[in-house]
Amino acid sequence: MAKRKKRIRKKKANKKQTRGLYDIYSLLTFAGAFLALIFIYTKTTGVVGSYINIALKYGFGGGRYLMPFFLAAMALYFMLSKSKQYSRFGTGLSISFLSILAISHTTVGLKNTFKPHYLMENGGIAGALFAYSFKFLIGPGASYVIFSFAFIVGALLLTNKTLPELWKNTKTGVITLKEKVDKNSPSEELTQKVEEIKKIAVNTKAIEPQFDFEPVRHKKTGEEIEAEKVKKEESFKLPPVSIFSTTDGSKSKGKKSVKENIKVLEKTLSDFAGDAGVSKVVTGPTVTRYEIHLASGVKVNRILSLADDIALAFASPDVRILAPIPGKSAIGVEVPNIHRELVTIGDILTSPKMKENNSALSIVIGKDISGHPTIANLADMPHLLIAGATGSGKSVCINSLIATILSRATPSMVKMILIDPKRVELNMFNGIPHLLTPVVTQAKQAAHALEWVVSEMESRYELLAANRVKNIAGYNNKMSKKGSNTMPYIIVIIDELADLMMVAAREVEDAICRLAQLARAVGVHLIVATQRPSTDVITGLIKANITHRIAFAVSSQIDSRVILDSGGAEKLVGKGDMLFSTPQTIKPKRIQAAFITEKEIENLCTFIKSQSEPEYVQDITTPKRTQYSLDDFEDELYDSAVEIVVSSKKASVSYLQRRLRIGYGRAARLMDMLEDKGIVGPQEGSKPREVHIDEEELSTLRSDE
């Protein structure tokens, strides 16, 4: 008997101790519920609270708003129910909660499952793990079914009911709720009175408020702004290829003329070069190449010396001889076609070769002499020089390059700076969201824009060094894994280099050379075009740093050598006929450039502008003047030199010598001081220096001092 009483007392003590533990669990869970409520629904959370809020966002997504109530329900059940039932209730509640998270994340595509924006807005990491696994294995439809049944199982465990009882209770609850709603609805008599009041109110004049009140708008946090940007970027759609027109792909019929040309060519060769015959004919969009095999003992130079005779036989001045053809033991004679084939940008974009290339920086060049599409990757090039005479097809080529990039890259992937001193070639692209600044038309502003790009390049290198990566691809991969912002590529396109070199030759050349040498790793690329291929425009430094070049038709072999370091461009027939030179090719490749119409450009820009607006970077084209003080110098004539230069708007060493009556050395030192402090510009050959400030700015500086 005594043992039994002792056992009962011990059992009661254990039960009381267990009950006490559950009370502690209940209080701790209540505390967690209140903390979650504060961290999620308020903004005064402190440092630790903000990190907890971020963890809840990523962990449970939109389900984080249910977390306080989830924890509160667990706490109440620990407090009020029997201790043996806590595991069943907790299991049911957890299954139901996770099912809701998984269902909310099943709507997200597989590719976007683990992207930060979708994690925070849908089911978080908890829902994403279940949703991704089931969708990958059995598809979204079956996943919905499984998660729905899992929710029902959780509800059964949660309520400790059978399925019929749960259905009956749910049905009863819905009916009761409907009765309460009907009971609280207005009666017919009250409805009639309201209608009478409305009729009276129609004829009364509304009282206008004396003051205009604006509602207090919620100031968006950095996370909300970033989430909006991500959502906007995800919704950005690339333009369809159907915007661009295509040809039927059929080549012009010229078999008869080809046979006649073979006879003419073989007769000419037999008359002047002995035994030589045509072994193969390749018909391209613009020219036809006749491959000639020479008999043993016939020198190649002998065929090259017959260029004028062959041109005379074909009655065409544009016959080009390629001796030898790269990779073949044959000589090529290229003769223009009577009927040229039109090559459109749509033909290249819809080709299998372009579809296989997924790079956002792939650009359309055109079709080669065999009729095959030619595509280049700007990331590998990494810069491009385009030159040719007026009307040879440069501007159309540049438009095709820009259109290709716009059709394959979103604004967050690629940014552009367009420099158009001619003001009419690139203005159609104004307002697209890919631009960092409106199309630059002033030469001085263009020089400042290039300076900004150089400084941006340097800051990007510092960023790469801080993150211990070698290039932009490594940086973007690292940031993507962290869920941070990636770095967009920057493409600088200059439509006419000659105009810039006339205004600020040294600054432009220095900026282009620095970018060409260093900018590849940080994703900055140059496309430079000019219609004046002379050595004072395409300098040796520019050529040395831009190895990929396109030459359109030029007037002389000298111009061709300036562009390509070899002749051949003087034999081109114009209208997009080009020579494309790369470091990998022994000789330039002849290509017919892709054509794009103004209507296609307009449709492309309209499609892109309708989705997003440009976000311009301020002060890209603004000069960055050096701060200076007029009292920082020992030379007593410095103030006089400043007044003379500013008042006369003339700045030269000889002018200061004459006005101040000093020697050349002192005048040169004064001029160097003025240049170092930003008052005058640098020396530009025989041109006078530019004066950067006027008399009003000078008086303002002195009054400030």
Q: Give the pLDDT band (50/70/90) at residue 16.
A: low
Residue 440, in any domain of the structure: yes
Q: Check residue 388 and give left, alpha or beta (phi > 0: left; psi -120 to 50: alpha).
A: left
Is there a single domain that holds both residue 673 and residue 598? Answer: no
* Average predicted confidence (pLDDT) for the chain: 79
- Judged against a pLDDT cut of 70, whether residue 506 lies above it is answered with yes
Closest CA to 245 of 363, 354, 365, 349: 349
User: What contacts 436, CB < 8 A, 6 or more positions away?
Assistant: 415, 416, 417, 490, 616, 617, 620
Query: Mind listing the pLDDT tens digit for each residue in 339-365?
Result: 888 899 998 998 888 888 888 899 999
Cα separation of 471 and 485, whole Å? 16
The residue among 356 and 419 whose pLDDT is bigger is 419
Asked whether residue 332 falls in the same domain as residue 351, the answer is: no
Is the distance from CB of 563 to CB of 570 less than 8 angstroms? Answer: no
Structural domains of the chain, count: 4
Compute the average pLDDT of residues 613-640. Answer: 69
Q: So what's the pLDDT on residue 224?
A: 46
Asked if residue 416 lies in contact with residue 491, where contact means CB atoms within 8 angstroms, the answer is: yes
Contact 412, 233 (CB under 8 A): yes
| CATH (domain of 332) | 3.30.980.40
**322, 631, 649, 671, 698 from 638: Cα distances, Å:** 64, 9, 16, 9, 13
Residue 218 confidence (pLDDT) = 43
* Beta strands at 384-387 and 331-336: parallel, antiparallel or unpaired: unpaired
Domain limit, last residue, from 559, 587, 608:
608
Average pLDDT over residues 101-119: 78
Across 87-101, 271-285, 359-373, 674-688, the highest mean pLDDT is recorded for 359-373
Residue pair 49/39 in contact by the 8 Å Cβ criterion: yes
**Residue 414 belongs to domain with CATH number:** 3.40.50.300
141 shares its domain with 287: no
Predicted confidence band at 177 (pLDDT cuts at 50, 70, 90)? Answer: low
Domain boundary among 336, 361, 395: 336
Per-residue pLDDT at 670 exceeds 80? yes
Q: Which of 34-48, 205-219, 329-343, 370-384 has the highest mean pLDDT?
A: 370-384
Evaluated on CA atoms 668, 669, 672, 673, the torsion sign reads: negative
Residues 583-591, mean pLDDT to the nearest whole number = 87
pTM of the model: 0.59
Which of the residue ranges 231-240, 445-454, 543-552 would you say has the lowest mean pLDDT? 231-240
508 touches 413 (CB < 8 A):
no
pLDDT value, residue 364? 93
167 with 40, same domain: the answer is: yes
Mean pLDDT of 515-537: 90
Tell me the angle at which helices 255-272 and 307-314 cross, rounded to the nearest 10 degrees: 140
- Please tell me whether residues 382 and 498 are part of one structural domain: yes
Sheet holding 320-322, edge to edge: 276-283, 287-294, 331-336, 320-322
Q: What's the pLDDT at 170? A: 67
Which distant-in-sequence residues (6+ apart) come within 8 Å of 702 by Cβ?
Answer: 630
* Domain-ending residue, one of 176, 192, 219: 176
Under a CB-based contact definition with an 8 Å cutoff, are residues 368 and 585 in contact?
no
* Domain span holding position 647: 638-704
Q: Residue 249: inside a domain, yes or no?
A: no
Report the pLDDT averaged over residues 381-410. 92
Do 455 and 598 sit in the same domain of this protein? yes
Contact 551/560 with Cβ under 8 angstroms?
Answer: yes
What are residue 512's phi and psi, to 5 degrees?
-65, -40
Do 382 and 520 have their domain in common?
yes
Say whether pLDDT at 214 is over 50: no
User: Does 316 share its domain with 408?
Assistant: no
